Structures are given as structure tokens and as C-alpha cells.
Amino acid sequence: MAPRRSLSQAIQEDSGEVLNFEVEHLAGFTDPIIVENALARLGYDPNLRDGQVGKIIDRYLELLAENYPKSNDKVLFPGAVSFLEFLKSNPFRLGIITGNVKRGAYIKLMPFGLLDYFSFGVFGNDSADRNKLPLIALKRVSEQFSERFEPKKVVIIGDTIYDTRCAHRNGMKSIVILRREEWREKIESEKPELIIKSFEPLTPLRNWFDSELSL
């Protein structure tokens, strides 16, 4: 995929070494941590990496901006737009919480026209620690919109075990889209409030949110 290829190229240009990424090296991690882990795999001393991570991410973003829009392997979950339309029609504040740095997230969302659904975002450059992002999101909503939400009223929707962990560690609820069946056992062990295999049909999600609104 274009993001993986772009990151591999950025690291190769910086280090001179070829590093192949598997999904377990990427899914659920913030961009800074992905690069730090990659450098560790290549044997770099963490004390000698000052500025190297940022330099690699900057180059990765240049390559991603060039490669992603024209790539043929961009994927949008079926039914994702209908789900966002459903959320938009309800009294929810929709935001992005992602391990991608801000520019990278925008590059990935723009080809699908999804940016307009979200009124704010929290990204991997806000904190390399994924578990800190939800609380940063609450602070950002308070500052931007003068709105305050209790953590128990927040739902984090993601597709990895790390999304559920960061939700529950912050007292929030979790919905997981199970894009890999082999991840089911680990995800179930974290007890997300809802697991679905797709946004289609929309009925299970609609019913879940309707029940939450009635509480």
C-alpha cells in the first residue's frame, strides 16, 4: 500500500537500509512510534536519533502526498459514508483521533471527501502515546467549542486492539470494526462494547447508538 511503501522509502533514504513493514508493525501505533520502532529494528541507538524521527516523517509525508492520491490500493470501508451521515444527523460531536500525524491523516482522508464530517482532530504529532490522545481530544473540544463531555459519553471507533485499550483506559466506550478475523480473539479479550465486521448493514450500529441515546 502507498503509505507503507512511502514510509519504507523514507527510511531507506535516511538510513540506506531496506525495511519491510508488516501490518503488525503499523496497525494501532502512532507515526512517531512506528518510526522509532523501525529504527530500533535496524539497530539504531535511541540516544543518537535526535531529529531523525522528525526528518523521516517529513520525507514520508512528501512521498505520501505524491503517491497516495494516484495509488490504486486506497480502501474505504463499505458503508463508511452512510455511517458518517447517520452520526452527522444525531447530536454528536465528530472528531478524528488517529496515530497518523495531521498532514498524513488529511492526505489519506481527502481523496474520499471525508474531512468535512469532522469538526476537530487529534493526531500522532499531538502525542506519540496513543493512550493520551482521547484526553487531548476532550481538552480540544472544550477549548474550541466550549463543550464538555464526560469520558463515559465518548465512543472511540477503530479497527485494532489498541483503539479499544485507549478507549477503556480513559473510561470511554469502544466500537471495533473487525477487518482481520485473526484479530478477533485478542480484541474480544479487551471487551469492546460492540464488534462489527462491516458498516454494512448499518442496523447494528444504528441500534447501538439509539440505545445509548435513550440512556
CA angle 75, 161, 114 (to 5 degrees): 35
Show the DSSP H helices in 89-189 as ranges.
Answer: 102-109, 133-145, 161-169, 184-189
The answer to whether 167 and 187 have CB atoms below 8 angstroms apart is no
Q: Which domains does the chain have, with CATH numbers?
A: 2-67 (1.10.150.240), 80-213 (3.40.50.1000)
Q: What is the pLDDT along the chain (215 residues), one digit of tens a residue?
A: 888 898 889 999 988 888 877 656 667 789 998 988 888 888 887 666 668 889 999 999 999 999 999 998 888 989 999 999 999 999 899 999 999 999 999 999 999 999 999 999 999 999 999 999 999 999 999 999 999 999 999 999 999 999 999 999 999 999 999 988 998 999 999 999 999 999 999 999 999 999 886 65
CB 8 within 8 A of CB 19: yes
* Whole-structure pTM value: 0.89
* 51 Rama sector, left if φ>0, alpha if ψ -120 to 50, beta otherwise: left
**Cis amide linkage into residue 46, ω under 30° from 0:** no
Q: What is the pLDDT of residue 214?
A: 65
Give the span between the Cα atoms of 171 and 150, in whole angstroms: 9
Q: Whole-angstrom Cα distance, residue 183 to residue 161?
A: 8
- What pLDDT, on the 0 to 100 scale, is given for residue 48? 61
Alpha-carbon Rg for the chain in angstroms: 18
Q: How far apart (Å, rounded) are the C-alpha atoms in residues 161 and 136? A: 20
Phi, psi of 122 (to 5 degrees): -130, 135
Q: How far apart are CA 51 and CA 48, in angstroms?
A: 9
Question: Taking the mean position of all CA atoms in its chain, how far away is CA 88?
Answer: 19
Calpha distance 114→108 (Å, rounded): 9
Per-residue model confidence (pLDDT) at position 50:
66
Beta bridge mates, 158: 176
